[in-house]
Structure 1
Amino acid sequence: MRWALRFALSTSVLAILLVLLKNHLEDLWDQYDVTSYIGASWKNTFKHGTVENIPNFNGQPGDKVIIMAKLEKENTDWVAEGLPDWQAAIYTVNPTHNLTTGLTTPMNKGHEAMAYLSYIIDNYPSLPSTLSFLHSHRSGFLSAWHTDAPLHDNVAALRTLQLPFVQKNGYVNLRCNWNPGCEVAHRANAHVTPEVWEDVFAGTSTEAVKGKVPIKVGAACCAQFAVSRDQVLRRPLSDYQRLREWIVETEKGDAQSGRVMEFLWHVIFGKDAV
């Protein structure tokens, strides 16, 4: 009887884990065509060696900052431990009464976009030279498949980021893999329709080109990128305030509004629609 109980418990635990994995993969499938991108992401996992090959950086935080959104339960200690030469602005999007310190967002909507825009709005007059916008996970294929660095590790990605190139280019997507987001088949973007484009940019400096709303929008996913201070300042503060207002006011939910923003960051920071 005891063995039967143990078998039943083990089977139940395994079933729960499989359901969680199934739900996670279904969520990814809902965002993109899994069959096309999973191979492209997986093949880069060990392509460039291990994280140990990436140079270490020591010293005090410099004129550069990591902006991040996290759930209260998530551990982001890896940022300070692995990237000590970066400032960190980590926003908790779902604070409870137990949280007494740290940055928080006005509301939990728009996924990481609410934290990204809140940092720019709150620090617009005194931004550091380089701003990197990251997700709260460090590594691992299931959560960080869209990070191109060895072992899909965000620490490795930031340690090898070429800051002079960020300053020269203004905006740099931290994902170089075209799949998903940049392939020709992806550019008829289901999230950013002409109607959505006009709604998002209404009341901003982009509205001046309202008669030239692009039919196609293409950019490598997935809302991890770096920008220069000068590029941020090309837009007035009111633009970022209006973009955050759109997230708050839109009927689109948390995930939907976040995905719209995911495919517009390159436009917001001065790049062509594709």
Structure 2
Amino acid sequence: MNKGHEAMAYLTFIIDNYASLPSTMAFMHPHLSGFLSAWHTDMALHSNVDALNSLQIQYVHENGYANLRCNQNPGCIKKHWKNKFVTAEIWREIFNGISTDRGGKHDVPPYIAAACCAQFAVSRNRVLERPLSDYEHFRQWIFDTDLTDRYSGRAFEYLWHVIFGMRAV
């Protein structure tokens, strides 16, 4: 299904390769370079190639997760912490019933913030901290939600860091 923007592709990769994931994964948009198409890549000339060449893999392994965008706008500045893409209802739909759920009462944080644009690196060990069923649940949410392609994908933009064990802000 072509829904959820890059979230569908990212989740499908994890689900399809769960048993044989590489030690480090970088999830990125397919833009090679250039401001208009790859404005969300923080390297000179907005080059994804340069971004990957400068990726500190040891850092990813030590921390488990690294957002590939360092520019805090949009997403991290305080006025964005209460975003319209991850409401309490959406949070509950996505996180209730997964492995870390505590009886259907998965705590909704008051704020959620991350650098935008769903480009990140994650270690295999961090991905495997969740069972395969969690990723299947996340993808099923995309299939089932009434939200559009854009909005369902945008919700995940602000949740990848949480999915991979980081604090909400």
TM-score range, shorter chain: over 0.9
Given the alignment of the two structures, is residue 146 of structure 1 paired with residue 32 of structure 2, yes or no? no
TM normalised by structure 1 equals 0.60
Letter in 1 for 2:70: C
- Per-residue CA deviation, residues 40-70 of structure 1 (Å, 9 max, x unaligned), is xxxxxxxxxxxxxxxxxxxxxxxxxxxxxxx
Asked if residue 265 in structure 1 is aligned to residue 160 in structure 2, the reply is yes
* 2:61 paired residue number: 167
Q: Does 1:213 align with 2:101?
A: no
Is the Cα–Cα contact under 8 Å of residues 38 and 46 in structure 2 kept in the other structure? yes
Q: Which residue of 2 aligns with 1:123?
A: 17
Measured after TM superposition, the shift of residue 251 of structure 1 is: 0.3
Q: Does 1:108 align with 2:9?
A: no
1:247 alignment partner, one of 139, 142, 162: 142
Q: Distance in 1 between matches of 2:159 and 2:130?
A: 14
Q: Which of 119, 131, 151 is the aligned partner of 1:224?
A: 119
1:135 counterpart = 2:34:
no
Q: Distance in 2 between matches of 1:111 and 1:142?
A: 18
The match for 1:199 is 93
Question: How many matched pairs?
Answer: 168
CA RMSD of aligned residues (A): 1.0
> Letter of the aligned partner of 1:214 in structure 2?
P
Distance 2:73 2:82 in 1: 14
Letter of the aligned partner of 2:167 in structure 1?
A: D
- Bigger relative contact order, structure 1 or 2 (CA pairs below 8 A, ≥6 apart): 2
For residue 100 of structure 2, give the secondary structure of its aligned residue in structure 1.
Answer: helix
The residue identity in structure 1 corresponding to 2:135 is Y
- Secondary structure of residue in 2 paired with 1:210: coil
1:239, 1:134 → 2: CA distance? 21
Question: How far 1:120 moved relative to its partner?
Answer: 0.5
1:132 is paired with a residue whose SS is strand
Tell whether the 8 Å contact from 1:198 to 1:207 is kept in structure 2 after alignment. Answer: no
Match of 2:50 among 140, 153, 156: 156
Identity %: 62
Taking structure 1 as reference, are residues 133 and 142 closer, same or farther at Cα in structure 2, changes over 3 Å only?
same
Equivalent residues of 1:110, 1:257 under 8 A apart: yes
Structure 2 SS opposite 1:206: coil
Matching residue of 1:234:
129
Contact 1:179/1:220 (8 A) holds in 2 = yes
Question: Where does structure 1 lack aligned partners over 5 or more consecutive residues?
Answer: 1-106
Give runs of ≥4 in structure 1 deviating > 6 Å: none
